[in-house]
Amino acid sequence: MVIGVRSPRAGRWDTSRIPDVVVIPLPQWRELRKREAVIELNEPPPLLVVEVVSESTKIVNYRAKRVEYNVLNIPEYWIVDPLTNKVTVFTLIEELYKPVEFFGTQCIQFQTFAELELTVEQVLTADN
């Protein structure tokens, strides 16, 4: 199911972003199946949003979406960037995202899913 996230763009709050990956609690997912799959401003934000960079989306993913997701209080935002072979994890700390970049065989450190053990290489190549 494709899930949108209501987002502030150009001073308007009636637009939505559709991230590449959205992680939400199961009860919230069940509720979204019954209606338009858009997480509204008055609902809990996703636990995690992941964006995959392409040549045409890199500026939007690194700048615009970062600002919008910050305003929405999404606790963790990942940018998977195959163009530079890195994963950037943005963690919301005191209302601002703190970015940490990971490369190659580095094990990525996630706050939301601390038990997850993945390297950048695994994420970029989809190897297990």
Domain residue spans of the chain: 4-125
Tens place of pLDDT per residue across the chain (128 aa)? 888 888 876 667 678 889 999 999 999 999 999 988 889 888 899 999 999 999 999 999 988 888 888 888 999 999 999 999 999 999 999 989 999 999 999 999 998 888 999 999 999 997 54
User: What length is written for the chain?
Assistant: 128
Give, in words, the CATH class of 4-125.
Answer: alpha beta
What is residue 90's predicted lDDT score, i.e. its pLDDT?
95
Write out the E strands in the chain. Answer: 4-9, 12-17, 21-23, 38-39, 48-52, 76-81, 86-93, 96-103
pTM > 0.85: yes
Residue 58 identity: K
- Both structure tokens of 82: 């195959």
What is residue 10's predicted lDDT score, i.e. its pLDDT?
63
Cβ atoms within 10 A of the Cβ of 17, count? 22
